[in-house]
Structure 1
Amino acid sequence: MSSFASPLFRFGIIADPQYAAIPPHQAMDRHYASSLAKVAEAIEVFNGWELSFVMTLGDVIDRSFSSFDDILPVYDKLRHEALFLLGNHDFSVSPGHLSEVAARLGLPSPYYSFSRHGWRFIVLDGNEVSTFAPPEGHPHRALAAEMLAALQAKGAANAHRWNAALSDAQFAWLADEIASAAAAGEQVIVMNHYPVHPPCEHGMWDSERIVTLLAAQPHVVAYLNGHDHAGNYGKAGACHFVNFKGVVDTEKENAFAIVEVHADRIEIHGFGREDSRTLVY
């Protein structure tokens, strides 16, 4: 019976438009300027569905603060709530604009949570401890340089400048949010720009502690991210880890998804290059 029941609710997912008014990077098959039309196409599809919201999983732009002026108006055609989180390329702006990125995307704060239909969505800022997002001279920059050097010394696969970590304060906040969701009887979906599982070269520097926390909580159902444009999937404990494919990749093909939440499973309907999946919980 349940397999034919209509979902509790649905939401849309877009990952890594990386828009910029620049020529394509042919070797990486990234077509930055084409993302305007691709996001518009995704929005046209989303507008045909009843959705609770649409989340873009970071890297709205590839570079330069003025790129936001071109791509954000495309979202004005969306008849649903447009939500965002921060990706590494969103900070590929001049130093004077670094502190304005979160506000430009309309975020209530760099990381935040919200509840819908008895579910808690926890939205992380994966760039908090990085070599690029904190203002010049911020202690998080120095900490990031130390963490990166330590990972490089170990030969870690994810020891790259384009990755980052949560601060201890944000990690504690994540644990608190998960605990308060349990107390409220809410299931949890975590969203972030960066993958944490399975381990890969694009993963958070502090992936292990994040996966350990999420995998230990039976009410944490899924972790959704972008950043690794090829896409990926893994499971740890009861938590499904889904890496969505990048919009910016390929000249013509799009990649986006509609996520249906049911009482016993999550159905991901992939469009274009995005895979469809059933996540049982």
Structure 2
Amino acid sequence: MSSAPLFRFGVIADPQYADLEPNLALNRYPANSLVKLREAIEDFNRHDLAFVVTLGDIIDREWKSFDAILPVYEALRHRKHFLLGNHDFAIAPEHLGSVPGRVGMPSAYYDFGYSGYRFIALDGNEISVFAPPEGDLRRQEAKDLMKAMESAGALNGQRWNGAIGDAQYDWFSAKLREAKASGEKVIVLNHYPIFPDNPHNALNSDRMLALLAEHDHVVAYLNGHNHAGNFGVSDGTYFINFMGMVDTEDSNAYAIVDVYGDRLEIIGFGREANRTLALR
């Protein structure tokens, strides 16, 4: 086994900060996430990381919550990448179109390269009943999707899930082909899981899973959203659902991923598990 990783990066899922009383039924403590995030960033700053990615649900609700949590990230000495989740849109309607800009994202979905890898960051909220503005056709599309899924007995036809639209799907497909042509391995980032089968999966998880099955250079798919965490392997791709930072009163959850030539090593902190994932 090679002694040093090619590179390392940090992962945070679902800090879901808001100045709220705990939700004891769900064991979520939104106000405590500022302290947990500071702790994670202090830890990340002790390591040589290429970047840190936050897999969505930066806030629990309310536009003003961004004003409290985003300054905490300023202590991070590494490059940072954000994705958005469903809770990031639990805000006043006039702010819905401003969320990507508020957190400094180049756009709602994007990609970047690092050391022979292509990271593809998806906007899983595109087709949903919460992220598009009122009256947008994408809201109706989400309702139609959920209705069809309910009829089919699918677990994940839930109003807290979303899907990527056709244009984004085509972009995603093109990025996968480009990476293949360039000899890059791919890691996909999304707020929503697509495997294993779960009530939190993206509304169009089957379509996305089928697309990934066509590409043997997709190493891993990383997501949050299901705070309990999850893990699966399908067609040679690892599906890693990181645990929600917001859960529990004081135990944290975040990770560092070490990328080697022959494997990924996930180093879990707090409730997050350690994993060694051999690459094909």
TM-score (norm 1): 0.98
User: In 1, distance between residues paired with 2:160 and 2:89?
Assistant: 11
Amino acid at match of 1:238: G
User: In 1, distance between residues paired with 2:123 and 2:18?
Assistant: 22
Deviations 1:114-145 (A, max 9, x none): 00111100000000000000011111111111
Superposition deviation, residue 215 in structure 1: 2.1
User: In 2, distance between residues paired with 1:79 and 1:17?
Assistant: 19
Determine which of 2, 7, 14 is the counterpart of 2:12. 14
Question: Which residue number in structure 2 is paired with residue 234 of structure 1?
Answer: 232
Amino acid at match of 2:154: A
- CA distance 1:117–1:4, change in 2 (3 Å): closer
- What are the ranges of 5 or more consecutive residues in structure 1 without an aligned counterpart? none
User: In 2, distance between residues paired with 1:33 and 1:247?
Assistant: 11
Alignment check: 8 A CA contact 2:2 2:260 kept:
no
Give the alignment of 1:1-281 within 5 angstroms.
3-281=1-279
User: In 1, distance between residues paired with 2:213 and 2:153?
Assistant: 26
User: In 2, distance between residues paired with 1:166 and 1:239?
Assistant: 20
Structure 2 counterpart SS, 1:227: coil
- What are the ranges of 5 or more consecutive residues in structure 2 without an aligned counterpart? none
Deviations 1:98-121 (A, max 9, x none): 000010111101000000111100
Alignment check: 8 A CA contact 2:125 2:164 kept:
yes
Structure 1 counterpart SS, 2:71: helix
User: In 2, distance between residues paired with 1:257 and 1:98?
Assistant: 30
> Stretches of 4+ moved more than 6 A in 1?
none
User: In 2, distance between residues paired with 1:280 and 1:65?
Assistant: 41
Alignment check: 8 A CA contact 2:54 2:81 kept:
yes
Superposition deviation, residue 279 in structure 1: 1.1
Superposition deviation, residue 150 in structure 1: 1.1
Alignment check: 8 A CA contact 2:219 2:238 kept:
yes
Superposition deviation, residue 212 in structure 1: 1.2
Amino acid at match of 1:49: H
Amino acid at match of 1:42: A
Amino acid at match of 1:126: G
Amino acid at match of 1:73: P
Superposition deviation, residue 75 in structure 1: 0.3
Deviations 1:78-110 (A, max 9, x none): 000111001000000000000000101111010
Superposition deviation, residue 4 in structure 1: 4.1
User: In 2, distance between residues paired with 1:236 and 1:43?
Assistant: 32
TM-score (norm 2): 0.99
Aligned residues: 279
Q: Percent identity?
A: 55
User: In 2, distance between residues paired with 1:27 and 1:162?
Assistant: 17
Q: CA RMSD in A?
A: 0.7
Out of 250-259 and 214-223, give the one that drifted further: 214-223
